[in-house]
Every structure is written in C-alpha cells, then in structure tokens.
Structure 1
Amino acid sequence: MSSLVFDTHNFVKKLTKAGMPEVQAEILASEQANLIENLLAIKKDIALPKQDTALLEKNMKMKIESAKSNLIKWVAGLLMAQAALVAALLKLFAGA
C-alpha cells in the first residue's frame, strides 16, 4: 500500500485546543495514524486490482470465443457427417 501523510502533531494541537487532554489526544493521533497507515486504501491501491480484472476479463473473452468457434466447427462437422450418413442410407435402401 502507498502511504498517506498524516500530521499527528497538528492533529494533537487541534484536539488540545478544543479541550481534549494532551495525553488522550496523543493516543488518538497515534491510533489514527496507525489506521491510516495499515488499513486505508488509496486510489493507487484500488487501481491495481481493476487492471488485473480487466486483463482477466479480456483473457476470458478470448477463451470463450475460441471455445465457441471450436463448438461451431464440431457441430458443422457432425451435421455434414449426419447428412452423408442419411445420403448413404437412402442410396442403400433405394437400391434394395
């Protein structure tokens, strides 16, 4: 993850100016900085999975198109074999 700049000193100053005890403000600032550092996702963090998903989607579309093309070839081949079989059977029974 990328890091964000969090001014803990300024945060503590604002809290103490608002009436919070300095020790409590320092603990809150420390925990806030820890949360931002370890848990907050930024645009760069979110962009990477989007790129991976787009690439995966492109690959899946190519595989689906390939499978569809192969299926069409198989069905066409089976239809031609069936037509040849019907023609052979008609010729066989017509001659009998």
Structure 2
Amino acid sequence: MVLAFDTLGYAKRLRDGGVPEPQAEAHAEAARDYIMVELVTKTDLAAAVDRVDGMIEALRTEMELRFQHLDSRFDGRFDCLRNDVDAKIERLSLQLTIRLGALMVAGLGALAVILRLH
C-alpha cells in the first residue's frame, strides 16, 4: 500500500499556524513515517474482505464435500435401521392388540359370572 502524504503541505500548514519550521518539518516526517504506515485504505479493506469471503467459500465447499462423504458412507444403513424399528413397532402393536383382546375376554367373562350369581 502506498499512500501519498504531502509532508511539504503539512509542514507549511504547521508553519502558518505558528509552529517553528524545524518542528513543523519533523512533525510532518514523523507523521509520514509512523502514522501513515498504520492507516488502512478502502482498497486494503476490500482486499481483506475478499480474502475472508474466499476462505469462507472454501470452508463451505469443504464442509459440503465432507457431508456428502458421510452421507455416502451411511447410505442404506439408516434404511436398514428404519426397517428394523418399523418391524419392532409392528410386533409390539400386535402384542398389545392381543393383550387388550385377552383383557376384554376376561372382563366379559367376569361380567357374565357376576350376572349369573345374581
């Protein structure tokens, strides 16, 4: 980054304000050497933003590739697991239906015995 800093104009303004010439020139040179090198321009910021955007895009691409790799490694395994779970749920549902039916039969039988006794 190269910034144009008018040390002559700066020193002249200081002299016009009453600062002795040697001090004005020293101040202008110090500003050029120590202050101006620390300034950031819009171009510097735009370049930094572009670099960060590029790094974010590269990271996004890498994450997508890794997730695709994981998906391909586990593809089919989840389907098998889902089928196992569905089968177990179906079996438990059938067992509960049988138990409920048995309870209904027992309840009706108990009701019939109670009605006969009266």
The amino acid that maps onto 1:21 is P
Aligned pair count reads: 84
Q: Give the CA deviation at 1:8.
A: 1.3
User: Partner residue of 1:50?
Assistant: 49
Specify every segment of 5 or more residues in structure 1 that has no aligned partner in the other structure, as ranges. 87-96
Residue equivalent to 2:13: 14
Amino acid at match of 1:27: A
Shift of 1:47: 2.0
- Please tell me the residue identity of whatever aligns with 1:63: E
State the Cα RMSD in Å: 2.3
Q: Tell me the alpha carbon deviations over residues 1-38 of structure 1, each in whole angstroms, 9 at most, x when there is no partner.
A: x21221111111111111111111111000011121x2
> Any idea what SS the aligned residue of 2:27 has?
helix
In structure 2, give the amino acid aligned to 1:69: Q
Aligned-partner Cα distance in 2 for 1:80–1:50: 44
What amino acid is aligned across from residue 40 of structure 1 in structure 2?
L
Percent of aligned pairs sharing the same letter: 24
Corresponding residue number in structure 2 for 1:24: 23
Q: Which runs of 5+ in 2 are unaligned?
A: 85-118
Amino acid at match of 2:70: L
2:78 is matched with which residue?
Answer: 79
- TM-score, normalisation: structure 1: 0.70
